[in-house]
């Protein structure tokens, strides 16, 4: 027997229509060159429809890839909805990639048009000659004195001017592609992940769940995570669907500027990678700002060190650890204390909050022994590769025939190594590629890093395996001292600090003091660069 419910398509058109009809007075605030830009959902809705008309009239159609090369701004938020609601595919380009990666990605996706922020025009100009499919550029905001290599180009405001302010959206199947994003992959060419309306819709509901990011109409959301990195973790889609107020930082990502924006606009929810919040915590040691409206900072992309959780807690700020990947839309798990953990001593609470937490409804997981292929017991000790599946998890990469093994047996093999505790809470111990194998046993680089970053003289630390004749690999700790302790910190004191916390054979073979840990295009520790530097 069949159910008798409507087959209502789960598309972003519903989110758009709901936002403009029900929440017209809600605000979207952006920091720009010329100060604060502020308008309402009503205005956003009109301009989004105008943009859709402009694209349609310029000949862009369903399935066309329409790229963006920009910061977190109101115009980017207009593109986030105009493009998919039209049936086209929004391709957010990572502005921090190397030129050759960008050329590869744009040509691989066959982007037809690129919307670029004015200050980023020179970056695109340097590769424009190699782009095979791009027919047009639209420049958002003031372009610098351009050498005219982006051809033909038009400015955004002229592009959308005089277009009708409502759009009769085409009927779309919910499985139509809505957006795409390339992984920041560390090996081989970047891989395209293609999200469908249905997957974005369901993911937005997940972000809104009380045990998700609990995003609601009453929230004021500030995504620090770029809109070109995994859909800014789904917060733009979910926030519009729920009717949240938005605060967008543009290109002004300095911790003080972000914190001022949070204070002035009474931000309740922010999200970004740990590096951002490490910088902010440092800044808050010097500056007094009222961040009391902030109920949660969602943080992931790389492991959140316990010292950061504790440090922010001392400032009355609640950081919530989350895990995901470009391939998982990205929110897959999130660490909130269970009802029966609320009254635990603070030490225990910090220990739990450092876990990647509980998978959201709709996300199914297993942790599989990397040698036997069997699921590991939930004993908080046994390691294995984390595999996931669900309606917002990718089942293949775009135009790629090499990665079938990554999606074997209906599961996404994440390449992350995890343990599971008896409550089913996940904790990542490493990437499969970053685990240090010493004398046949695994050492978690992430755990060592977390511990070292807890030492009061340390700002950041990354641990890599270096070749060793006897043990095959040994851990090397690369440590950035806090500015006040440069030249006043020794290898011996770090080893002494670690000794009570880890087995003797886990202690780093050596400690290298460095000025900064190299970062990837999305702000994660770039261990590939560190390994190349210390190989010898």
Our finding on whether 192 is near ligand AMP (CB under 6 A) is: no
* Position among 302, 307, 358, 444 found at the interface with ligand AMP (CB under 6 A): 302
- Which is the catalytic residue, given 125, 265, 327, 449? 327
Which of 295, 431, 501, 528 forms a contact with ligand AMP (CB under 6 A)? Answer: 431
Pick from 152, 148, 113: nearest CA to 133: 113
Find the binding residues for ligand AMP in span 350-379 (CB under 6 A).
Answer: 356
Q: Which is nearer to ligand AMP, 94 or 438 (CB)?
A: 94
* 301 makes contact with ligand AMP (CB under 6 A): yes
Token pair listed for 50: 């105008």
Which one among 70, 192, 226, 300 touches ligand AMP, defined by CB under 6 A? Answer: 300
Instruction: Using CB under 6 A, count the residues that bind ligand AMP.
Output: 21
Question: Which residue is catalytic, options 32, 135, 442, 482?
Answer: 442
Which residue in the list 32, 40, 183, 186 is annotated as catalytic? 183
Interface region with ligand AMP, contact rule CB under 6 A, candidates 81-89, 151-159, 320-328, 461-469: 320-328
Q: Is 437 an active-site residue? A: yes
Taking the complex as a whole, how short is the minimal distance between the CB of residue 123 and ligand AMP, in angstroms?
20
Q: Is 179 in the site for ligand AMP (CB under 6 A)?
A: no
Contact call for residues 234 and 329 (beta carbons, < 8 A): yes
Measured from the CB atom, the residue of 194 and 230 that comes closer to ligand AMP is 230
Structure tokens, 326: 């470009």
Q: Per rule CB under 6 A, is residue 146 in the interface with ligand AMP?
A: no
Q: Are 390 and 363 in contact (CB under 8 A)?
A: yes
Query: Minimum Å distance from CB 498 to ligand AMP?
Result: 20
How many whole angstroms separate alpha carbon 249 and alpha carbon 255? 11
Phi and psi of 481, rounded to 5°?
Answer: -70, 155
| 326 near ligand AMP (CB under 6 A) | yes
Q: Phi, psi at residue 261, to the nearest 5°?
A: -65, -40
Closest CA to 212 of 412, 418, 357, 26: 357
DSSP per position, 124-166: HHTTGGG-SS--EEEEESPPPS--S-S-SEEEHHHHHTT--S-
Given strand 412-420, what is the order of strands in its sheet? 364-368, 384-389, 412-420, 426-431
Rounded CA-CA distance 179/84 in Å is 7
| Known catalytic membership, residue 505 | no
Phi, psi of 95 (to 5 degrees): -70, -10
Q: Give residue number: closest CB to ligand AMP.
A: 326
Shortest distance, position 129 Cβ to ligand AMP, whole Å: 29
Task: Please identify, among the stretches 263-271, 321-329, 437-445, 463-471, the one whose residues bind ligand AMP according to the rule CB under 6 A.
Answer: 321-329
Nearer to ligand AMP, 69 or 323 (CB): 323
Q: Is 319 in the site for ligand AMP (CB under 6 A)?
A: no
Using a 10 angstrom Cβ sphere, with 0-12 exposed, 13-18 middle and 19 or more buried, the burial of residue 195 is buried
Q: Note if 174 is an active site residue.
A: no
Give the tokens for residue 322: 């989350």
457 is catalytic: no
Annotated catalytic sites, by residue?
A: 183, 327, 437, 442
Binding site for ligand AMP (CB under 6 A): 183-184, 230, 300-303, 321-326, 330, 356, 414-416, 428, 431, 522
């Amino acid at each position: 027997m069949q159910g008798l419910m409507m087959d209502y398509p789960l598309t972003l058109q519903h989110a758009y229509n709901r936002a403009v009809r029900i929440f017209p007075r809600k605000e979207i605030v952006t920091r720009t060159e010329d100060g604060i830009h502020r308008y309402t959902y009503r205005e956003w809705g009109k301009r989004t429809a105008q943009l859709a008309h402009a694209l349609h009239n310029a000949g862009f159609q369903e399935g066309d890839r329409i790229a963006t090369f920009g910061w977190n701004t109101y115009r980017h938020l207009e593109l986030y909805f105009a493009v998919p609601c039209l049936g086209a595919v929004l391709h957010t380009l990572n502005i921090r990639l190397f030129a050759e990666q960008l050329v590869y990605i744009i040509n691989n996706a066959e982007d037809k048009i690129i919307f670029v922020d004015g200050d980023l025009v020179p970056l695109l100009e340097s590769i424009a000659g190699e782009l095979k499919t791009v027919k047009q550029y639209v420049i958002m905001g003031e372009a610098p004195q351009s050498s005219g290599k982006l051809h033909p180009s038009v400015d955004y405001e002229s592009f959308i001017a005089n277009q009708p302010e409502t759009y009769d959206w085409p009927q779309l199947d919910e499985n139509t592609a809505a957006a795409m994003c390339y992984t920041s992959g560390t090996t081989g060419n970047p891989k395209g992940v293609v999200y469908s309306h249905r997957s974005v819709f369901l993911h937005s509901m997940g972000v809104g769940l009380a045990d998700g990011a609990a995003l609601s109409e009453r929230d004021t959301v500030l995504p620090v995570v770029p809109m070109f990195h995994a859909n800014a973790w789904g917060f733009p889609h979910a926030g519009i669907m729920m009717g949240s107020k938005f605060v967008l930082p543009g290109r002004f990502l300095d911790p003080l500027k972000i914190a001022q924006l949070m204070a002035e606009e009474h931000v309740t929810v922010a999200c970004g990678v740990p590096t951002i919040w490490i910088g902010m915590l440092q800044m808050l040691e010097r500056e007094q700002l009222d961040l009391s409206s902030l109920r949660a900072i969602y943080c992931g992309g790389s492991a959140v060190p316990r010292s950061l959780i504790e440090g922010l807690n001392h400032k009355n700020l609640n950081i919530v650890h989350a895990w995901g990947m470009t391939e998982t839309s990205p929110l897959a798990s999130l660490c909130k204390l269970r009802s029966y953990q609320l009254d635990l001593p603070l030490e225990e609470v910090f220990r739990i909050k450092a876990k990647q937490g509980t998978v959201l409804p709709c996300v199914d997981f297993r942790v599989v022994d990397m040698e036997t292929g069997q699921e590991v017991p939930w004993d908080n000790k046994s390691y294995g590769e984390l595999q996931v599946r669900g309606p917002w998890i990718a089942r293949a990469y775009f135009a790629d025939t090499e990665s079938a093994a990554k999606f074997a047996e209906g599961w996404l093999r994440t390449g992350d190594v995890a343990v599971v505790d008896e409550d089913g809470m996940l904790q990542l111990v490493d990437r499969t590629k970053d685990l240090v194998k010493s004398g046949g046993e695994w050492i978690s680089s992430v755990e060592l890093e977390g511990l070292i970053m807890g030492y009061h003289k340390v700002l950041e630390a990354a641990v890599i395996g270096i070749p060793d004749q006897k043990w095959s690999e040994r851990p090397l700790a690369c440590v950035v001292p806090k500015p006040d302790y440069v030249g006043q910190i020794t290898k011996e004191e770090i080893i002494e600090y670690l000794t009570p916390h880890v087995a003797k054979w886990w202690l780093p073979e050596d400690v290298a003091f460095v000025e900064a840990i190299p970062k990837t295009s999305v702000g994660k520790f770039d261990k590939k660069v560190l390994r190349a530097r210390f190989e010898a």
